[in-house]
C-alpha cells in the first residue's frame, strides 16, 4: 500500500478484447458489479468501460486527471472489477484509453491489483489513505462508494 502505479500507454492493439455497451451490463457482469455500474454511470465526472474476452468481463471506472509532472491527460482508475483480466490485457486497455480517449497514462492505486501491470512505474503517493476498522488486506477496501468517486475532485 502507499504506492501508485503509472502505466504508460502502449500502441499495441490486440483484437481479442471487446467493448460492451452499457445496455448489456446486466447480461455480462455479475449482479454486484452490474449494480455498481448502474450506481455510477450517471456521474458526469466519471467514465465507465465494460471490457471482455470470451466469458470474462471487467468494469473499469475512472476519471480524467492531469498528471502534474508530465503535464499530460491521464486516467485515475478508481475501480477494477476483474484485476486478472485487467492485468492480462493492460496494453490493449491502455491503447483504448490512448487512441479513443486521448489519455496517455493511468494512475492506479496499488491495492486494486495483485501485481503491477507490465510497463508500470511506481511512485510514492502524496497522501496516505486512512481506513477505520480491522481490515488487514489491501484489496479489501474499495474506492467505489468513497468521496474519491462521489465528488468531482
Q: Answer whether residue 28 shows pLDDT above 90.
A: yes
Nearest in space to 97 (alpha carbons), one of 122, 63, 123: 63
Cell of 117: 501491470
User: Quick one: average pLDDT of 19-26?
Assistant: 88
Output 145 or 48, whichever has higher pLDDT: 48
Output 119 or 44, whichever has higher pLDDT: 44
Nearest in space to 88 (alpha carbons), one of 52, 137, 112, 55: 52
**What range defines the domain where residue 76 resides?**
3-150
The tens digit of pLDDT for each residue in 73-124 reads 999 898 999 999 999 988 888 888 888 899 988 888 888 888 888 878 777 7
Q: Are strands 47-53 and 56-67 parallel, antiparallel or unpaired?
A: antiparallel
CATH at 45: 3.40.630
Q: Answer whether residue 2 shows pLDDT above 60.
A: no
Q: Please tell me the total count of domains within the chain.
A: 1
Nearest in space to 106 (alpha carbons), one of 5, 38, 37, 31: 5
Amino acid at each position: 500500500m502507499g504506492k501508485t502505479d503509472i502505466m504508460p500507454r502502449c500502441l499495441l492493439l490486440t483484437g481479442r478484447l471487446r467493448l460492451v455497451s452499457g445496455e448489456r451490463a446486466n447480461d455480462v457482469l455479475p449482479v454486484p458489479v452490474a449494480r455498481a455500474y448502474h450506481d455510477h454511470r450517471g456521474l458526469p465526472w466519471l467514465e465507465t468501460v465494460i471490457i471482455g474476452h470470451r466469458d470474462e468481463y471487467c468494469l473499469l471506472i475512472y476519471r480524467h486527471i492531469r498528471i502534474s509532472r508530465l503535464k499530460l491527460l491521464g486516467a485515475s482508475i478508481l475501480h477494477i472489477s476483474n484485476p486478472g483480466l485487467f492485468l492480462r490485457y493492460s496494453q490493449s486497455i491502455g491503447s483504448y484509453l490512448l487512441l479513443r480517449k486521448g489519455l496517455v497514462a493511468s494512475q492506479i492505486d496499488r491495492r486494486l491489483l495483485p501485481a503491477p501491470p507490465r510497463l508500470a512505474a511506481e511512485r510514492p503517493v502524496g497522501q496516505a489513505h486512512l481506513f477505520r476498522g480491522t481490515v488487514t488486506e489491501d484489496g479489501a477496501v474499495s474506492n467505489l462508494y468513497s468521496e474519491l468517486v462521489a465528488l468531482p475532485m
